[in-house]
Amino acid sequence: MFRKVALSSCIVVGLVFVVYLIALYFELRADLDKVRHYSPKVASQIYDRKNRLIANVFDTEFRFYAKFDEIPPRMIETLLAIEDTLFFEHGGINYDGIIRAMLKNIRTGRLGEGGSTLTQQVVKNIILTRERTISRKIKEALLTVQVEEIISKEQILEIYLNEVFLGHGYYGVKTAALGYFKKTLNQLTLKEIAILVGLPQSPSTYDPTKNLDLALTRANDIIRRMYDLGWISKDYRDSSLAEKPIVYHQTLTQNVAPYVTDYALRQLSSIEDIKTGGYTIKLHIDLDYQEIAQKALKNGYSALQTRQLKLLQAQKPKNAESAVLLNEEELTANDTLNGAVIITDNKTGKILALVGGVNHEKSPYNRAVDAYRQMGSSIKPFIYQIAFDKGYSTATKVPDAARSFQSWNPRNSGGKFQGMVTLQDALTHSRNLATINVAQLVGFDNIYNGLLNFGFSNFSADMTIAIGSLNATPIMVAKEYSIFSNYGVRNEPVLIDSVIDPQGNVFSYDTASEAIISPEQSFLTTSVLREVVRAGTGRRAAVVGIESAGKTGTTNNNVDFWFCGYTPDVQAIIWFGRDDNSPIGRYESASAVAAPVFAEITANLLRIDPSLRRFFPRPEAVRSKTIDKHTYYYTRTSPLPNISNVVTEQDLY
């Protein structure tokens, strides 16, 4: 009787278990889509205009996908030798292999093949968790059988080799090959392949950038295993055992232009999977230009810091050693001084270099595109352009004399007056009072509306705008100055050239331009801005052998320093200031701080790109005349009479 009850109980339990397995089998089929439609996170890459890598971008997993036909047969052999020798013979679970591997490892004390098949590892990595329970083991077995039914052996290998974590943040063999060895898969040696396939057992322990000896030891065991299986010759074994590959310790992103990368990703934020979709992002950035801009900005920053430290040292009282040391430490370690550079192509507005600060690690805030700062005197060329377009000439004279407004008494730098000066002289030497008189002469409404027409916005409706009270970011200033550098046509600065999705579809980004004034009228301002660099406030921006035009800009209390300049082909906007809007330094100026950075940039661009044009072409409609040893340019709109126009103070009222 007891036996019958026990037998009946066993049958019932068996039936229940079988029903459970059948139900579980069908329940788990929904999870198979993760394998059937395997779509891992794949890093995107950003390139410059010469197809050089700027950065790898990714979310949580750094991976480049390799299709099966990209994977060398030798890598498949090496993987199977150590992980699953009978992979092409079993149906997903190799029961005999599990037992045989365990006994062999114990008997020989050497590395043999593992117990889990590659299919089981794919199931564990893609579908299941790492928990060690009977329930999970049952699920793993059922799913493994089903995976072998729905996809091929080659697909299983492809998934495994792309999903596997190989240490150092690398997912997949293609990523690890490029990261550890700077090689594509088909360039790898057997030793390098063995290092890679040996990593999954313990990625941290065998990471060749940290523990190269351990990685080589494991790789050698794998190579010996291949020889034992008869898969390689003795000579091939011996030469591979003797090899010691070069291993590179690289950052994952390899980001050489972090401010550029940040700005590009911000502009592409509408693409939800931009970091995980495996896109190729091509920018107009030129890494040679970018390196030049980064170095020039840092050199300008360092020179300014050095002068400030020397000034502190010179002012140090003999009995205040500790207090001064504290100031010096604060100046270097906690200083808020920073800067930005943006270089664009004159004709197209393409951004060739963009630097948003001197140290991205210390501060990722992108001042080139986000910092709204007062323009100071760098606004003045637009004031004079409005005057030229209203019929005044570069030789028209205005008084450089004191003016007074309610609660505002502007003055020239240095406090001196020059009397009657030409518009050319007033802009060349950045005379505030003459500029205000020009604005008064043209009429405030014309100045206000003219600035709106140029593209400026959100500025005060008072006369302070004539000498730079309005705010703009460096990239906005780059856009507006293109009116001069591009002969009257305003360019929208554009960073992205195209985005290519994994299927090869190309999405291009167009440049945007708008004609604002005529080429000949814009050349009038360029002719004066050349004088600024040749003999005015921008002398330190001059480079022998090439014409440059530009304007310095210094705001009240030396809070902001600008130099906005261009050669016949390239424009560069440079800005320095403190992030907390405090003064930079009492004895500093845009001429001393920003202009030399422009000169360094121009000289180095000329060195690497000697094809850059050296002289500004003059439009046919522009004429010139020498008066009192000074050359003035004029047009039909801005005529130059035999005797230059002279504006008296009475004319201003």
Please determine, for residue 318, whether its predicted confidence score (pLDDT) is greater than 70. Answer: no
How deeply is 547 buried, as exposed, middle or buried, from its count of CB atoms within 10 A (0-12, 13-18, 19+)?
middle
| Residues 597-611: b if buried by 16+ CB within 10 A, e if exposed | bbbbbbebbbeeeee
389 and 521 Cβ atoms separated by less than 8 Å: yes
For residue 237, what is the enclosing H or E element? Answer: helix 234-242
pLDDT in tens, 16-69: 555 545 555 555 556 788 888 899 999 999 999 999 999 999 999 999 999 999
Better-scored residue on pLDDT, 105 or 480: 480
Q: What per-residue confidence (pLDDT) applies to 28?
A: 58
pLDDT (0 to 100) of residue 109? 57
What are 235's two structure tokens? 């000579």
Output the average pLDDT for the chain.
Answer: 89
Alpha helix segments (H runs only) across 392-473? 423-428, 432-442, 444-454
* Structure confidence at residue 337 (pLDDT): 94
Backbone dihedral region for residue 278 (phi beyond 0: left; psi -120 to 50: alpha; all else: beta): left
Q: Say which residue the tokens 């000289």 belong to.
A: 603
Token pair of 621 as six digits:
């409609």
* pLDDT of 650 higher than 50: no
Q: Say if residue 111's pLDDT is above 60.
A: no
Task: State how far the Cα of 492 lies from the Cα of 258, in Å rounded to an integer.
Answer: 22
At 199-226, the pLDDT tens digits run: 999 999 999 999 999 999 999 999 999 9
Asked if residue 652 has pLDDT above 50, the reply is no
- Whether the CB-CB separation of 571 and 397 falls below 8 Å is answered with no
Angle among Cα 571, 577, 583 to the nearest 5 degrees reads 140
pLDDT band at 324 (very low <50, low <70, confident <90, very high): very low
- Rounded to the nearest angstrom, the gap between the alpha carbon of residue 74 and the centroid of all alpha carbons in its chain is 38
Which among 402, 460, 409 has a CA at the least distance from the CA of 431? 402
Q: Are the C-beta atoms of residues 169 and 62 closer than 8 Å to each other?
A: yes
Q: Specify the higher pLDDT residue, 9 or 645.
A: 9
Q: Which residues contact 399 (CB under 8 A, 6 or more apart)?
A: 419, 420, 421, 433, 434, 437, 647, 648, 649, 652
Share of the chain above pLDDT 90, in %: 72
Cα–Cα dist 263/6, whole Å: 73
pLDDT confidence band for 113 (50 / 70 / 90): very low
Q: Which residues of 479-517 are buried (b: 16+ CB within 10 A; e: fewer)?
A: bbbbbbbbbbbbbbbbbbbebbeeeeeeeebeeebeebb
Q: What DSSP character marks residue 54? A: E
Q: Which two tokens stand for residue 337?
A: 């001084």
Distance CA 616, CA 624 (A): 14
The DSSP line for 370-399 is H--EE-GGGGHHHHHHHHHHTT--TT-EEE
Greater confidence (643 vs 446) lies with: 446
When pLDDT is averaged across residues 571-594 and rounded to a whole number, the result is 94
How many CB atoms neighbour CB 253 within 10 A?
17
User: What is the phi/psi pair of residue 203, to 5°?
Assistant: -55, -35
Report the percentage of the chain scoring pLDDT > 70. 84
302 or 321: which leads in pLDDT: 302
Type of residue at 482: S
Predicted confidence band of residue 535 (pLDDT cuts 50, 70, 90):
very high
Length of the chain: 653
Residue 620 identity (one-letter amino acid)? E
Alpha carbon separation from 422 to 438, 442, 466, 502, 630 (Å, rounded): 10, 15, 17, 60, 10
Distance CA 493, CA 516 (A): 16
Q: Residue 562: is its pLDDT beyond 90?
A: yes
Buried b (16+ CB within 10 A) or exposed e, 345-371: bbebbbbbbbbbbbebeeeeebbbbeb
Q: What is the pLDDT of residue 110?
A: 54
Task: Give yes or no for a contact between 286 and 50, defined as CB atoms under 8 angstroms apart.
Answer: yes
Q: Compute the average pLDDT of residues 172-197.
A: 97
Confidence (pLDDT) at 587: 86
Considering only CA atoms, which of 210, 238, 244, 281 is closest in space to residue 58? 281
**454, 562 contact by CB (below 8 A):** no
In 442-470, which positions are buried (b, 16+ CB within 10 angstroms) versus exposed (e)? beeeebbebbeebbbeebeeebbbbbbbb
* Amino acid 106: pLDDT: 61
Position 648 pLDDT exceeds 50? no
Q: Is the pLDDT of residue 444 over 50?
A: yes
pLDDT (mean) for 352-356: 98
Tokens encoding 647: 């504006």
Amino acid letter at 625?
Answer: K
Q: 2-27 and 134-150 helices cross at what angle (nearest 10)?
A: 50
Could you tell me the sign of the dihedral formed by the alpha carbons of 264, 265, 269, 275, in that order?
positive
Reading the block at residue 455, the tokens are 């593209």
Of 464 and 576, the structure prediction assigns the larger pLDDT to 576
For position 107, what pLDDT does the model report?
64
Contact 617, 361 (CB under 8 A): no
Q: Tell me the C-alpha to C-alpha distance, in Å, between residue 219 and each of 73, 78, 214, 225.
A: 17, 10, 9, 10
Q: What is the pTM of this model?
A: 0.88
Residue from 564, 569, 571 nearest 617 by CA: 569
**How would DSSP label each residue in 72-110?**
-HHHHHHHHHHH-TTTTTSSS--HHHHHHHHHHHHHH-S
The mean-pLDDT minimum among 53-62, 226-235, 331-340 falls in: 331-340
Band of the pLDDT at 101, cuts 50, 70, 90?
low
Closest to 563 measured CA to CA, from 531, 538, 600, 535 = 538
